[in-house]
Amino acid sequence: MKNLISLSAASLLALSALTGASGAAETAAAHHEIVRQPWSFAGFKGQFDRAQLQRGFQVYKEVCAACHGLKRVYFRNLAEPGGPVFPEEAVRELAASWPNQIPEMNDQGEIAGKGGELFKRPAKLSDPILGPYLNDRQARAAQNGALPPDLSVIAKARGVHREVHWAIHPFLMLGDILQGYQEGGPDYLYALLTGYTEPPADVTVGEGMSFNTAFPGHQLAMPPPLSDGSITYQDGTKPTVDNYARDVSAFLAWAADPSLDQRKRIGWVVMLYLLVTTVLLYFGKRRIWSKLH
């Protein structure tokens, strides 16, 4: 009995220590905590909001496309089910007018003129959505050495890091699995786009850098890209930084996982099929083995 009491006391002390460590870590990270957002595509049954994806593409086109490409997304994807579903003819016109056109060899087998300029043609539905730069070297030269990342899969490449004791992580992972949480990337992007503030008095920001509460290290080479009223939504949605950030984050989540809607629908059909199959197998087993008594 004494051993049991001692073991219980030790367990309580260990739990208290873990809780204290977790609390201290949370306090240290409170100023840049990334809050989960109520996305329409969250959870097991969530689906993309078509109107939000259309607004998000508008934000990308008018702001983000000045530095970032979407080379793994093709113009035709913008007209396909599960995405923004723009009219195909409108997307065709958009592709033809896209600033960075497609390099192509001419009839003489040449890829560039005598002055070194590349031969290009207007983009088609089957072409990727290119950024403004021909290569990384040109991008770095235009951005003072910083390389603007391609945004095709940025919502999958980024996530939320929680500063807790290592022993707490398995329980957090289990909670994420049970809730179907996989929106860490959009949560981070939204926090980043809305996280520009004035630096604290004791923080010195480097030349050409901006202070951002969500970015690791808090100093970011990208200046604040969004401001209230800078984009006029065609559907009358309020033109605020919060809405811009939320919409473009949702669009980039779709760009990184364009089959999400279809995947979830198929998943529920498969689960129903497995459930029905399990019930049929159970009753079939009972009927067959009941004759062997």
Identify the weakest region by mean pLDDT among 122-126, 137-141, 169-173, 239-243: 169-173
What is the rounded end-to-end Cα distance, in angstroms, of the chain? Answer: 49
- Percent of the chain whose pLDDT exceeds 90: 63
Query: Residue 204 above 60 pLDDT?
Result: yes
137: enclosing H helix or E strand: helix 136-142
- How confident is the model over 252-258, as a mean pLDDT? 97
For residue 25, name the pLDDT band (cuts at 50, 70, 90): very low
What span, in angstroms and rounded, lies between the C-alpha atoms of 173 and 243?
29
Per residue in 93-135, pLDDT (tens digit) is 999 999 988 888 766 666 776 666 778 889 999 999 999 998 8
What span, in angstroms and rounded, lies between the C-alpha atoms of 173 and 169?
6
Q: Which residues of 104-115 are buried (b: 16+ CB within 10 A; e: fewer)?
A: eeeeeeeeeeee
Residue-level pLDDT at 1: 41
Residue-level pLDDT at 157: 94
Residue-level pLDDT at 110: 62
Residue-level pLDDT at 290: 78
Residue-level pLDDT at 107: 67
Residue-level pLDDT at 114: 67
- Residue in the block written with tokens 């809305």: 194
What span, in angstroms and rounded, lies between the C-alpha atoms of 172 and 162?
9
pTM summary value: 0.82
Residue-level pLDDT at 211: 95
Residue-level pLDDT at 169: 84
What does the chain come to in residues?
293
Domain range summary for the chain, segments of one domain joined by +: 26-68+152-259, 70-130
Sign of CA dihedral 200, 201, 203, 205: positive
Phi, psi (rounded to 5 degrees) for 71: -65, -15
The set of long-range contacts for 117-122, using a CB threshold of 8 Å and a minimum separation of 24, is 122/95, 122/96, 122/97, 122/98
Residue-level pLDDT at 21: 37
Collect all residues with Cβ–Cβ distance below 8 Å to 86 and sequence separation of at least 6.
Answer: 54, 57, 78, 79, 94
What span, in angstroms and rounded, lies between the C-alpha atoms of 194 and 118?
38
Residue-level pLDDT at 184: 94
1.10.760.10, 2.60.120.10, 1.10.101.10, 2.40.30.10: which CATH number matches 26-68+152-259? 1.10.760.10
